[in-house]
Amino acid sequence: MVLASIEKSLLTSRKDFEKIISSIPEGLVEIYQRYLSAIPVDYQDDATNLLKLLLSCLRPMHLDELNIAFTINDSHITADDVLRDTQNSMAHTVQGILGSIVRVTGRHVSLVHQSVKDFLLEQGAVGYDSFPTMRTVDSRSSALRLATVCIQYLLLDDFKVDFFPTNGAPTEADPELPDLFDELPPGDFSGNFWDEDGHDLASDVLFREPDALHPDLCDSLVSNHAFYSYAALHWAEHFAACEEAASVDLRVAARSLLDNGTASCRNWLCFYRTRSSASVEDDILTQDPMLLASQFDLDTILNDLLSSCEPSQTIKNQSLYWASRFGHVRIVASLLRAGAEPNSRTSDGQTALTVASEHGNFTCVVRLLADERTSVNMPGRKGRTALSFACSSGHDKIVNELLSHSACSPDDPDNSGATPLFWAVGGGHHSIISTLARLRSIDLNHRDKTGRTAISWASGDGMADTLAKLLKLPGIDVNIKDAKGKSPLSWAAANGCASAVEVLLTSTRVDKASVDDDKRNAISWASGGGHHHVLVKLLDGGCPGVDTKDIDGWTPLAWAIQTDSPDTVRVLVNNEQVQLERRDGGGRTALSWAVEYGHAKVVKVLLQAGADPEAKSNRGSTPISIAKQFGRDDLLSELMAYKA
């Protein structure tokens, strides 16, 4: 604001600059009031209109967008009608009317600072005797203004024809939109039609799926209709914020935009599905108006639909799901009153309560649980309960709300056998873990269908901090094996989770010598994964079995060689307990196998450790003969260099 004053000054001496700075009020309120009082009386209505648009816009508006939003009214039938009435220089207009309250950056315009918005919305009707229309500026009226212009724009005649192909039907395009097929070369087709040379039919366009054309069509639509993107993406959000204050005519207009029997509706839905960052179902174009109203939080329209027709139970149930999914508690309440079944499941198995819990929609969870029909333990997708979803997503408030209901079963397993505790552990949500651990009904050592416990999963996923917290819980067993006998320590070692291994080894309760059904220990699993850092920690931590054979006769060294991990091999051969020349059932040594695998770096490590390149197997083969057999001259030269 200081710079703005300096820029406008025709006097540029130091004294003049100091005078300008000293005239700037210290308080923002006084500054903004001065700006408002500077708006010419003849332009106060226009200023109010502009301020409402800028206050409620969900992103900085492009000057062309603001120009259209500022201009459009009920008298406009087509986009050309609107353009004929727009300002020739919107930057000049908006800056001339609002002055320093706004900032124009490039082609975008916004309020100069967030504090301007706070000031305008908090002042209410105070201090506007000389600017009476400012008394109408508040959050709802601002949303109403922008919702109105968005709806008016989407219902212009230009958009009453389909821009997007639907169900294979031809598209009746806007004459102003470039025809994608206009770019096809004319050609005389004097040769064979299918000749590869000479006829470029732009097949990349011709044979694309209809949906694949949507991004191009969106680009064309926006290039010709500057306000379409903003209107299509945001009209519903603006209307939801003000629908109770909307006129009957505006409600009717908004409701028409949910009628997929009209091109106006299909166009904005296609655009929204293509351009919106929100999660949108592929079948949104064919959805019932009630489903759309529920997804976009349009409560008054929903209630109009409920009172004017008798929707099927399926539609009501699906609408409840979507309202719960997106956190629209008003819609949830309306649908429950209308008889929607809270325990019904969608095609993916979710209920209203499970999906609300999954997405952290606390108010919806509270409202659903207030309905005595709602089952707090009704399983959703993959047999998971609402508590399970809340635990995995880290929604503490929802977890506590669910647990406050006496009917809640906090230890119910899902289809995989995982309980809510498993999911809390998987998400690393320590506060929820503590909440669950305090419950007497929770089995801290519960095993899922693979036999794994929560502590096994934390170990295998390398969740060191969570693992440390679990180890402090009284009664937890750190050594429970899975269905194949694999311990949490072996899981951590196999997955290369060095930090988890370190945490486990600090516990005196951990069985360092545990072996699974295949007689493999933690060292074997670390070696097989090539995790030399983990191997070092296991050896330093006193884990036994560095040279122990498993059920197939494989030692940790054999696993490391197969994995082609020279660093792991080096750690093992430097351990005095490892027998470098140990023979397998066929009399072959580790070096023999490394040569056959062709693992050159491992071969070099073994040779440097003293492995014998001439050690014979039961069939008389040696590492040297194997290198010759497989034509590995590079290995052969290395082996010959170490020949006695």
Query: Do 315 and 432 fall within a single domain?
Result: no
Does the pLDDT value for residue 201 go beyond 60? no
pLDDT digit string (tens) for 236-291?
A: 999 999 999 999 999 999 999 999 999 999 999 999 999 988 777 767 878 899 99
| pLDDT score at 277 | 80
pLDDT digit string (tens) for 475-503?
A: 999 999 999 999 999 999 999 999 999 99
**Residue 277: inside a domain, yes or no?**
no
Instruction: Please give the DSSP secondary-structure letter assigned to residue 135.
Output: G
Please state the rounded mean pLDDT for residues 165-173.
54
Does residue 325 contact residue 355 with C-beta atoms inside 8 Å?
yes
Tell me how far apart the alpha carbons of residues 169 and 165 are, in angstroms, rounded to a whole number. Answer: 6
Burial 450-477 (b: 16+ CB within 10 A, else e): eebbbbbbbbbbbbbebbbbbbeeeebe
**Residue 636: inside a domain, yes or no?**
no
Domain-terminating residue out of 438, 468, 491? 438
| pLDDT score at 29 | 67
Does the pLDDT value for residue 630 go beyond 80? yes
Percent of the chain residues past pLDDT 70, beyond the cut:
86
Please, what is the angle between helix 228-240 and helix 139-154, to 10°?
140
Query: Do 430 and 466 fall within a single domain?
Result: no
Angstrom distances, CA of residue 492 to CA of 459, 489, 526, 540, 546: 5, 5, 8, 16, 17
Domain containing residue 458: CATH number:
1.25.40.20
Tell me how far apart the alpha carbons of residues 454 and 391 are, in angstroms, rounded to a whole number. Answer: 13
Query: Do 325 and 368 fall within a single domain?
Result: no
pLDDT digit string (tens) for 538-594?
A: 999 999 999 999 999 999 999 999 999 999 999 999 999 999 999 998 999 999 999
* 282 class by beta-carbon count within 10 Å (0-12 exposed, 13-18 middle, 19+ buried): exposed
Alpha-carbon torsion, ordered 634, 637, 639, 641, to 10 deg: -150
For residue 214, how many C-alpha atoms fall within 13 Å in the half-sphere facing its CB? 18
Query: Do 363 and 480 fall within a single domain?
Result: no
Between these two residues, 619 and 24, which has the higher pLDDT value? 619
Query: Do 9 and 129 fall within a single domain?
Result: yes
Q: In the chain, helix, strand, coil percent, each to 5? A: 55, 0, 45
38 falls in which pLDDT band (50, 70, 90)?
Answer: confident
| pLDDT score at 33 | 73
Q: Domain range holding 429?
A: 351-438
**Residue 98: inside a domain, yes or no?**
yes
Least reliable range by pLDDT among 283-297, 398-412, 499-513: 283-297
pLDDT digit string (tens) for 119-162?
A: 777 765 445 555 556 667 889 999 999 999 999 999 999 999 99
Sign of the Cα torsion 197, 198, 200, 201 reads negative
**Residue 590: inside a domain, yes or no?**
no
Least reliable range by pLDDT among 38-42, 345-349, 478-482, 520-524: 38-42
Query: Do 64 and 106 fall within a single domain?
Result: yes
Does the pLDDT value for residue 644 go beyond 80? no
| pLDDT score at 169 | 46
Query: Do 369 and 310 fall within a single domain?
Result: no
| pLDDT score at 144 | 96
Tell me how far apart the alpha carbons of residues 258 and 309 are, in angstroms, rounded to a whole number. Answer: 15
Does the pLDDT value for residue 429 go beyond 90? yes
pTM of the model: 0.83
Query: Do 380 and 324 fall within a single domain?
Result: no
**Residue 588: inside a domain, yes or no?**
no
Does residue 259 contact residue 161 with C-beta atoms inside 8 Å?
no
Does the pLDDT value for residue 22 go beyond 90? no
Element of type H or E holding 179:
none
Does residue 109 contact residue 94 with C-beta atoms inside 8 Å?
yes
Does the pLDDT value for residue 213 go beyond 90? no
| pLDDT score at 24 | 44
Tell me how far apart the alpha carbons of residues 494 and 346 are, in angstroms, rounded to a whole number. Answer: 39
Domain-terminating residue out of 104, 122, 137? 137
Across the strands, what pairs with 104? 109
Query: Do 331 and 433 fall within a single domain?
Result: no
Tell me how far apart the alpha carbons of residues 489 and 468 are, in angstroms, rounded to a whole number. Answer: 13
Q: Dump the DSSP string for 67-126.
A: HHHHH--TT--SHHHHHHHS-S-HHHHHHHHHGGGEEEETTEEEES-HHHHHHHHHHTTT
Domain-terminating residue out of 544, 574, 594? 544
Query: Do 359 and 337 fall within a single domain?
Result: no
Query: Do 400 and 511 fall within a single domain?
Result: no
Number of compact structural domains in the chain:
4
**Residue 174: inside a domain, yes or no?**
no
Query: Do 434 and 448 fall within a single domain?
Result: no
Across the strands, what pairs with 110? 103
| pLDDT score at 125 | 41
